[in-house]
Structure 1
Amino acid sequence: MTNSLELLELERLQKGKNLLAFSGGVDSTALFFLLIEKNISFDIAIVNYKLRPQSDEEVAYAKELATRYNKRIFIKEVPLSPPSIEEKARKIRYRFFEEIIQKYGYENLLTAHQLNDQLEWFLMQLAKGAGVVEAIGLEPASQREGYVVVRPLLHTSKEEILRFLEKKDILYYIDNSNYDTSFVRNFIRKNFSDPLMQKFAPGIKRSMDYLLHDKKLLEPKIASIKKLFIAKNPHEKMQTQRAFLMMAKRAGYLPSTKQLAIMSEQKSGVIGGKIAFGQNERNLFVAPFMKQSIPKKMREAMRRKKIPPTIRGYIYSENLIDTLDRVLEKNLS
């Protein structure tokens, strides 16, 4: 085995302005040094949740690396407490990253997800009852509103990453909470994904590649104008829910199973008080929910176009009515 590891989306990384989500753990530390090795420009961001005494050491390590390699570093300190620590942490983390991205013009957010993470996600979704599109949740590059999430290590196993760090004698930290099997992900990791990866890593990697290809074929095509997302109406419950899930996620909201059922059954509505959805015979729509007083002439024009009522406020406020037909024709015809 070589001393280096494969980085996915290398051309994108070489051309874009990159922000690395750093923690000081095994994966993000390896990614940091691989990016240095490949002469890829990037800065780093780290969140200290104050959950462990060690977290201050990890931030200090991040600062040390930033100084040594002349990287800009962004730090956020947010003490967390139960319940729902994982969910809270994720929301805080991505809100912080997105604020940095918007303020400083980063194009790519780099995360250190790797092959073991991909298998863990697959098994978790399999246990819940999911199709291919939902089960293959991690991709090498995922478009978000205003930036791309890039996962350069997604085809690399944890074992390969650890060997890389040990070969290079690179310091990293271990989060002991990863061994707490009261968390579903850790339970899956210890009992299923880690043993499978130890025995069948090459085959699992090939399978994930095949499944990702199949996912691309099954995914609905989504057009967008600003924060208005549109897909063809498949007139089938599961496909409709899948399309609404993808559009809502791109709009920055993760709907529950119950909310997805409502979205697929109703012609128009609002979920979470934030996201408007609707459907007509041809299309599905998702947009930020906006209450607007719309002039009668414009209301009539939207009614003729069969735009769902809850979507109309956003279209009117952003003056999208004139470009809507063009986008539909170009992207969803």
Structure 2
Amino acid sequence: MQLSLNLINTQRNLLAFSAGVDSSALFFILLENNIPFDLAIVDYNYRKQSKEEVAYAKELALKYDKKIYIKESSFEKLSNFEKKARDIRYKFFDEIINDHSYEALITAHQLNDKLEWFLMQFTKGAGLNELLSFEEVSKRKNYKIFKPLVNISRETLLNYLNKNKIKYFIDESNNNEIFKRNYFRRNFSNRLLKEFETGIKNSLIYLNEDLKSLEKKEVLLYNKEELEIFENSKDDNLNIRIIDKSLKKRGLLLSKKQREEIIKEKELVVSHKIAISIEKEFIYICPYLTNLTLTKEFKELCRINKIPKKCRAYIYRFELLDSILKKIK
């Protein structure tokens, strides 16, 4: 499972629990990985089964020495149920976190939820920010929210529960298409993920990376002859976009394998033609030259100023070192 547990860097965590497939799986995944947490569950008194779910939550809390916070609520009408339920739920979480000094909330949103949200927003008319709001880490008021399962499908979680013989409940209201999310789940997202899970998961990950990168801008520091020096954005995705754009202008298209190799190796030659070097502060891109004898003095200046080795011959050939140093010093 492609979990994001390494992002959870807090010690006082609250798990939003419902006793359903997602939160039951997450409960035991957190236990297995020694991540500390307590439980919070809301009973909306909408289904008879909710009493059994709360009882199960209490049972787990007692067995595994977890604190548990329970909220009783009720609705007279189903209109706008999902929004009302969410408002009640997060108000409850806010109160617990403030009163008991928790640092973070952990929720069990998973890949199906992420795709359902995407489709719902897409059909309403939305921009990238609205379409891609399921972040693995986000901030709310004075605490963090972690969603470590957002790249894991519900089917994968079900398999985990069944394999480990872990008890969970199925919310019968998930079949009621009066709720818009259920309509998208039953008619679209479940079917799409069943056939195209890997592609959908990767696309949503790439779109999120692109969105983050779009918020940043490339900074070209130097451009002379065919040498370009950019500021290192400290973002692999944006750095690859910068390199890709530069190479396209030079008539070269990067393959997926080449992109991955550039990020891994940091300095290499593409297609025996273009030298690329991702340094701590800068990105160098220029034609790759060989069969040039560099002076000892020039090599020493390059070493001192951390000029990448594969670019040195080109810089030497066109006498660019002095003008480069004026720009990057």
| TM-score, scaled to structure 2 | 0.64
Q: Does 1:42 align with 2:31?
A: no
Contact 1:22/1:44, CA 8 A, preserved across alignment: yes
Contact 1:132/1:214, CA 8 A, preserved across alignment: no
Q: Deviations over 1:285-330 (max 9, x none)?
A: xxxxxxxxxxxxxxxxxxxxxxxxxxxxxxxxxxxxxxxxxxxxxx
Alignment-derived partner of residue 59 in structure 2: 64
Q: CA deviation at 1:124?
A: 0.5
Q: Distance in 2 between matches of 1:137 and 1:76?
A: 27
Structure 2, unaligned stretches of length 5 or more? 217-329
Alignment-derived partner of residue 288 in structure 1: none
Q: Does 1:18 align with 2:13?
A: yes
Counterparts in 2 of 1:76-95, with a 5 A limit? 76-82=71-77, 83-95=79-91
With over 3 angstroms needed to count, the CA separation of the structure-2 counterparts of 1:104 and 1:190, relative to structure 1, is: same
**Residue 216 of structure 1: which of 198, 212, 218 is its match?**
212
SS of the equivalent of 2:193 reads: helix
Alignment-derived partner of residue 173 in structure 2: 177
How many residue pairs end up in the alignment? Answer: 216
- Equivalent AA in structure 2 for residue 201 of structure 1: E
SS of the equivalent of 1:148 reads: strand
Q: Distance in 1 between matches of 2:135 and 2:7?
A: 16
Q: CA deviation at 1:137?
A: 1.4
With over 3 angstroms needed to count, the CA separation of the structure-2 counterparts of 1:219 and 1:57, relative to structure 1, is: farther
Q: Distance in 2 between matches of 1:93 and 1:180?
A: 21
**Residue 136 of structure 1: which of 132, 139, 149 is its match?**
132
Q: CA deviation at 1:181?
A: 1.3
SS of the equivalent of 2:34 reads: coil
Structure 1, unaligned stretches of length 5 or more? 221-333
Alignment-derived partner of residue 191 in structure 2: 195
Q: Deviations over 1:39-98 (max 9, x none)?
A: 111000000010000000000000000000000000010112212211111101000000
Q: Does 1:102 align with 2:103?
A: no
Q: CA deviation at 1:106?
A: 0.8
- Equivalent AA in structure 2 for residue 118 of structure 1: K
Q: Which deviates more from structure 2 when the two are superposed, residues 188-197 or residues 76-85?
A: 76-85
Q: Distance in 2 between matches of 1:76 and 1:49?
A: 8
Q: Distance in 2 between matches of 1:160 and 1:113?
A: 13
- Rg bigger for which structure? 2
| TM-score, scaled to structure 1 | 0.63
Q: Distance in 2 between matches of 1:12 and 1:165?
A: 22
With over 3 angstroms needed to count, the CA separation of the structure-2 counterparts of 1:188 and 1:204, relative to structure 1, is: same
Alignment-derived partner of residue 150 in structure 1: 146
| Residue identity (%) | 53
